[in-house]
Amino acid sequence: AEEIIRKADKLAVVGQLAAGVAHEIRNPLTALKGFVQLMTEGGNNAGYCEIMLSELNRINRIIDELLLAARPSKPVFERHNVVDLVQDVLSLISTQCVMKNIAVLPSIHTWVPSIRCDSNQLKQVFLNILKNAMEAVPEGGQIEVCVGRVEASDEVYVRITDNGFGIDETVLPKLGEPFYTSKETGTGLGLMVSYRIVQSHGGRMKISSQLGRGTTVDIRLPMEAPVPHHTSYLVKQG
Ligand code: ADP
Ligand code: MG
């Protein structure tokens, strides 16, 4: 019975996502259709092409992120130290931070226990959160990255704080919903994928924010992750 419920649950989530995907892709497609129509009637074709290209790029970004999330790779759970994973991602973004004059301030405890996790998936989470922070801060902004062990608990934490534009209170509950984005070129999939990955590790992710002041994303991961039994992050875990 549990298996049946889980399947029904998965179908519901897949249906919800399919409706979202269809909607997100129909908007740029409708725009494209309109411009093709205009072009057949002559007029400023160069201007139309520019808009059409940006609409096509939007469809491409959505498909890219969906494929990344749906990729049916089996998660590989092994022992890793989150400090190493965080440091890998920090070096990945360091050039971009220098170019945007963003100060990255790591505050990493010297002794952090290793945890059972899929290293690529967790790196994806840290990258998604750090990218959001980089997109939220102004020139000269700062991002603090803390890693440590939660006191008196078998958990480690990764806390990423930025002093960017923050998130309105009314928007906070929408975070993690597929396709919620406030950005012109956003997809609104980064947080959804991140929540799913953290959940599949038996962990939690909490976002707190103050408009105009900044945002903190707090991730907690147990040292022993539960055994995974699913293959795709587009499917809700049962
Ligand atoms: P995307 O980055 O493509 O918009 P995400 O799922 O990564 O999608 O984020 C969804 C939304 O959450 C963003 O569009 C933004 O409004 C809000 N958000 C996430 N992180 C931050 C942050 N650090 N500061 C301000 N807003 C944020
Ligand atoms: Mg993002």
For ligand 1, say whether the CB of 190 is within 6 Å of any of its atoms.
Answer: yes
For ligand 1, say whether the CB of 163 is within 6 Å of any of its atoms.
Answer: no
Q: How far is the CA of 182 from the centre of ligand 1 (A)?
A: 7
For ligand 1, say whether the CB of 175 is within 6 Å of any of its atoms.
Answer: yes
Closest atom of ligand 1 to 164 CA is 24
Distance CA 32, CA 78 (A): 46
Contacts of 90 (CB under 8 A, 6+ apart): 104, 106, 130, 145
Q: Which one, of 11, 7, 8, 56, lies nearest residue 31 by Cα?
A: 56
Residue 157 pLDDT? 98
For 16-74, how does the pLDDT look when each residue is reduced to its tens digit (9 = 90+)? 667 677 777 888 888 899 888 888 888 778 888 888 888 898 888 888 777 766 665 67
Residue 238 pLDDT? 40
Q: How far is the CA of 234 from the centre of ligand 2 (A)?
A: 17
**Which pLDDT band, with edges at 50, 70 and 90, does 187 fall under?**
confident
Distance CA 56, CA 58 (A): 5
- Provide the edge-to-edge strand list for the sheet that holds 103-108: 103-108, 142-149, 155-162, 214-222, 204-210
Asked if residues 235 and 13 have their Cβ atoms less than 8 Å apart, the reply is yes
Q: Which one, of 177, 175, 193, 179, lies nearest residue 69 by Cα?
A: 193
For ligand 1, say whether the CB of 191 is within 6 Å of any of its atoms.
Answer: yes
Asked if residues 104 and 126 have their Cβ atoms less than 8 Å apart, the reply is no
For 207-229, how does the pLDDT look when each residue is reduced to its tens digit (9 = 90+)? 999 999 999 999 999 999 777 65
For 153-168, how does the pLDDT look when each residue is reduced to its tens digit (9 = 90+)? 999 999 999 999 999 9
Nearest CA to ligand 1 atom 11: 181
ipTM > 0.90, yes or no: yes
Nearest CA to ligand 1 atom 19: 132
Q: Enter the pTM of the model.
A: 0.79
For ligand 1, say whether the CB of 153 is within 6 Å of any of its atoms.
Answer: no
Q: How far is the CA of 190 from the centre of ligand 2 (A)?
A: 5
For ligand 1, say whether the CB of 186 is within 6 Å of any of its atoms.
Answer: yes
